[in-house]
Amino acid sequence: MAEQRDHALLLRSIAYSDSSLILHCLTQQHGRISLMARGARRANSPFRAALMPLHALQLRWKEPRTGTMGTLLEVQRFTTLLPEPMMLAGQTLLATASTLFPDGVSNGYAELNQACALLSERPEDAGLCAATWAMLEQSGWTGDLNHCWHCVEPVDLNHDMYWRQGHLLCANCAKANGFKLHSGFRKTIAAFMLQPNVALNHEHITLWKLMIKDVFKTHQMRDSVE
């Protein structure tokens, strides 16, 4: 029953019994963990004020004798990851991170931090796309914008590509099936991932959102088949 200490981000907390919370956290060194925060819903609990999502936290906890759920001993809250007006968009990122980095994975902490950084520097609507896109790529649900995700051939940013069933395809693999992505779109998105001051128009954002939705849909269908 060793004690552990780590930097963490709170993904979600679920009410348990009369006064406690079950926490799901992404930690820097210990991957995703679940912790019991006893009495955390009581008005005088020191956990209550400190346990906030979208803030840098430092946790100390006791490892379980059996099972996987540790017991929270101490929590310290540090800086916020997002400016106040973006907290709602941040909740969307938390839900996405919870899906992409499930129990048992060792990553997610750095990825969620980076996603929040991408969002905080960009206009909210397009920034949320960029942040989600980065997490999708890091969790392996998508590839990069410079390759066909089927044959893995590099495709120059000056060429058109195709989008089909959650995948970015070269002209050869797509065989003219799927939605044509003009080179300008891919160039703009690639630049925006690196530079916050790249202007995206309404069509870019609408299309990007549809692609992201499509990636989730494709994976959920695959998961339900398996």
Place of tokens 């009410």: 15
Nearest distance in Å: CB 51, Zn ion: 47
Q: How many CB atoms lie within 10 A of CB 156?
A: 8
Q: Does 170 bind Zn ion (CB under 5 A)?
A: yes
Asked whether 43 and 16 are in contact (CB, 8 A), the reply is no
Asked whether 53 and 10 are in contact (CB, 8 A), the reply is yes
Q: Does 174 bind Zn ion (CB under 5 A)?
A: no
Q: Which stretch binds Zn ion (CB under 5 A): 73-81, 113-121, 166-174, 200-208?
A: 166-174
Nearest distance in Å: CB 152, Zn ion: 7
For Zn ion, the binding residues in 86-125 under the rule CB under 5 A are none
Nearest distance in Å: CB 174, Zn ion: 8
Q: Which residues contact 74 (CB under 8 A, 6 or more apart)?
A: 59, 60
Place of tokens 């065989």: 175
Q: Does 161 bind Zn ion (CB under 5 A)?
A: no
* Beta carbon nearer to Zn ion, 71 or 218: 218
Q: Which residues contact 38 (CB under 8 A, 6 or more apart)?
A: 19, 20, 71, 72
Per DSSP, 214 falls in state H
d(CA 111, CA 190): 18
Residue 162 φ then ψ, to 5°: -130, 150
* Beta carbon nearer to Zn ion, 16 or 149: 149
Binding test (CB under 5 A) with Zn ion, winner from 14, 88, 95, 151: 151
Q: Does 145 bind Zn ion (CB under 5 A)?
A: no
Nearest distance in Å: CB 148, Zn ion: 3
For Zn ion, the binding residues in 12-51 under the rule CB under 5 A are none
Q: Which stretch binds Zn ion (CB under 5 A): 96-104, 135-143, 151-159, 191-199?
A: 151-159
Q: Does 173 bind Zn ion (CB under 5 A)?
A: yes
Nearest distance in Å: CB 55, Zn ion: 43
Q: Which stretch binds Zn ion (CB under 5 A): 24-32, 89-97, 141-149, 212-220?
A: 141-149
Asked whether 127 and 81 are in contact (CB, 8 A), the reply is no
Structure-block tokens of residue 16: 């348990």
Nearest distance in Å: CB 203, Zn ion: 25
Per DSSP, 84 falls in state G
Q: Where on the chain is the footprint of Zn ion (CB under 5 A)?
A: 148, 150-151, 170, 173
